[in-house]
A and B are shown apart, each in its own frame.
Chain A
Amino acid sequence: MSTNASQNAVYARIRKNPRFAELVSKRQGFATLLSVIVLTIFYGFFMVVAFNPNLIGQRLSEGSYVTVGIAAELFMFIFFWVLTAVYVKRANGEFDAITTEIIRDASKEVK
């Protein structure tokens, strides 16, 4: 992939912009946090399945067929999807606004 000189100059300017460091640390921090939440819940659930399967079949209330396992999984399906929505909303709004601003500043200075 060839990048020309003016493009490299823009990259250099973007790197120097403190807003870029801010963008990266904010977005990376947010993405890492959400990933850790998903992985912890997911592998936590799998460990319960492996080590304490009886808990999975426990009913939430007497006579109901909604078990801990079914409720936990339905929760994961919904919650994980909500987390993707939260990330998309923030990344496409707040983070992309900063990105556009950084690129505009850097391109302007180069010209």
Chain B
Amino acid sequence: MLARLNVALLALLAPALSFAGDAISATEKQPLNLHAIGMFVLFVSMTLGITYWAAGRTKSASDFYTAGGGITGFQNGLAIAGDYMSAATLLGLTALVYTKGVDGYIYMIAFFAGWPIILFLMAERLRNLGKFTFADITSYRLNQSKVRTMAAVSSLTVVCFYLVAQMVGAGQLIKLLFGLDYNIALFVVGALMMVYVTFGGMVATTWVQIIKACMLLAGGTLVAVLAMSQFGFSFEKMMSQAVSLHSLGEKLLFPGTLLPDPITALSLGLGLMFGTAGLPHILMRFFTVTNAKEARKSVLYASGFVAYFFNVILLMGFAAIIIVGQNPEFFEGGQIGGKIVGGGNMIAMHLAKAVGGNLLLGFLSAVAFATILAVVSGLALAGAAAISHDIYARVIRKGKATETEELRVSRFASVGLGLVAIVLGIAFEKMNVAFMVALAFGIAASANFPVLILSMYWKGLTTRGAIIGGYSGLIAAVLLVVLSKSVWVTVLGNAQAIFPYDQPALFSMPLAFLLTYIFSKLDNSPEGNAERAMFDDQYVRAQTGFGAADASAH
């Protein structure tokens, strides 16, 4: 049970869809769900319409990567919230509250607390220094080829692992919700993603994300309100029933096995907080707004929506203990307390059905599918930008590629990433992919974040330090995850994990910082000195936004 929970928790680490493999592979294909398919078709036609409209507006590289920088703070806030609130948030966290009570709430605050920090320390500098990718910032005064290559390698690693985790989860979930075959589901997701990104670029991706965020907020709120109405909207009444009916009883109100020791707690907190601040698709969203003012507003709106939704999920989880947990219809063989129909992740869906019938169930299923599509699109775009903007245009062509050439490469890259995602998704169908999410967050926190934050804050940073520190963080994160239980025991079948924690950030992130610091300090090369000298101008631009990539440059 404990092992299973740990795997489930790792899966939940992602603000995106990824499910505990064993929880989901245990589910059978469900009968075709016509309500859900109807609503999903509606969503797809709407988003394809938007893509058609966006394609007409996507002419320059700036349009493709950052929607021409014309997204408002409010729109971007919704889109960031959309990137952050995934199907795993809706399904996984509701299930976590349902089974573990207050533990789920503790988990959610860890997800949330990174946002204020991103605002205070990063948002305005990101916008003032960045253009299309976060490597624009790290390579601002450092060696273009070396630093961009490293940023692209770690970005693509993060994107690929994340995409595969998404695709596997997507296939399983769609099989479950819509009764579609796993492989067909993967092709549908991959194909739609390629269409959105290739033709519509960031404009389409942003709007898909916004529509989905609105659907998710509306769907969750509706379910929570209908559920609360059964208790006369009284939290106390609901809780007293939940505590008396749940097998944990009073323990529902106490922290359980989620954070067994301070090291786990700290590593989880660090990984979630700074991993978020190093995810390429999240960072890219900061370049889509007009200026630092709008970048700050984006975080304000995004964190508001996220905080609101997490509290909605808390209510859904507790209400489900009574409404779903006492209804034999939702248990296999009608055995209350037995195996949940469709697996543990279906709690939110069952709750929707219990309070709103098949129509609400269909709506929420469509929301879950839309969520997957939106998140994979954002990831694919970030990956394509790393290939075309960083590797092709800056490293291979040394900045001499025309915009048309760069755009052509980015579109091929999007299609390529889509195909890779489908193929790997099929290859990994039977595998437990939870470790991939831990890996993505670990790499983001250990390879991307330290170099990014130091490049903005520390004059002493040089190329040598950044390269050594960044690659060490990358390698350390990968190694620690491989040696942890989720790969060493679950995937490779060894008896005992060598690294006892699930999240590597507490160890690999300080290592990256330390090595970057030491090797920058020891760097006395003329290049290093020239790089330090360039910090002053960069600093003024970071603080004032003067000279920042212009939103209306095209």
Contacts and interface: CB of A to CB of B under 8 A. Distances in A.
Contacts of B240: 65
Contacts of B184: none
B32 interface: no
B29 interface: no
Contact of B112 (A31, A39, A49, A80): A80
Contact of A56 (B131, B235, B255): B255
B250 A99 contact: no
A65 B119 contact: no
Nearest to B543: A24
A87 B116 CA distance: 9
Contacts of B110: 46
Interface string B265-301: 1100100000000000000000000001100110110
B262 A57 contact: no
B120 interface: yes
Contacts of B269: 42-43, 46
Contact of B546 (A14, A65, A85, A87): A14
A65 B541 CA distance: 51
- 10 A-B pairs with the lowest CB-CB distances in the bound complex, closest first: A65-B239, A57-B254, A31-B120, A57-B253, A53-B255, A50-B262, A11-B537, A11-B540, A77-B307, A42-B113
Interface residues of A, number: 56
Contacts of A7: 546-547
A74 to B, nearest CB: 7
Interface in B169-197: none
A20 B540 contact: yes
Nearest to B546: A103
Contact of B117 (A38, A54, A65, A77): A38
B248 to A, nearest CB: 11
17 contacts: A7-B546, A15-B540, A20-B540, A38-B116, A39-B117, A47-B265, A49-B259, A56-B255, A67-B102, A69-B105, A69-B253, A73-B108, A76-B113, A77-B311, A81-B116, A88-B300, A96-B292
A74 B312 CA distance: 12
Nearest to B251: A57
A71 B131 CA distance: 42
Interface string B210-222: 0000000000000
Contact of B259 (A3, A23, A50): A50
B296 A73 contact: no
B300 A38 contact: no
Contacts of B109: 42, 45, 73, 76-77
Contacts of A64: 236
Contact of B124 (A45, A49, A69, A91): A91
A103 B540 CA distance: 10
Contacts of B105: 69-70, 73
Nearest to A27: B543
B296 A91 contact: yes
Interface in A30-51: 31-32, 34-35, 38-39, 42-43, 45-47, 49-51
Interface in B84-139: 102, 105-106, 108-110, 112-113, 115-117, 119-121, 124, 131, 136
Contacts of A45: 109
Contacts of A50: 259, 261-262, 265
A99 B254 CA distance: 48
Interface string B528-539: 000000001100
A83 B299 CA distance: 12
B235 A66 contact: yes
Contacts of B544: 14, 20, 23, 99, 102-103
Nearest to B119: A84
Contact of A92 (B293, B311, B543): B293
Given A53-B255, A88-B297, A10 B546 contact: yes
A108 to B, nearest CB: 13
A27 B542 CA distance: 13
A69 B102 contact: yes
Nearest to A41: B113
A65 B113 contact: no
B116 A56 contact: no
Contact of A73 (B106, B136, B299, B541): B106
Given A20-B543, A35-B117, A84-B115, A46 B259 contact: yes
A11 B235 CA distance: 57
A51 to B, nearest CB: 7
Nearest to B241: A65
Contacts of B15: none
A99 B536 contact: no
A111 B293 CA distance: 27
B46 to A, nearest CB: 31
B128 to A, nearest CB: 10
Interface in A4-22: 7-8, 10-11, 14-15, 20
A71 to B, nearest CB: 11
Scoring A45, A54, A106 by chain B CB atoms within 10 A of each residue's CB, the highest score goes to: A45
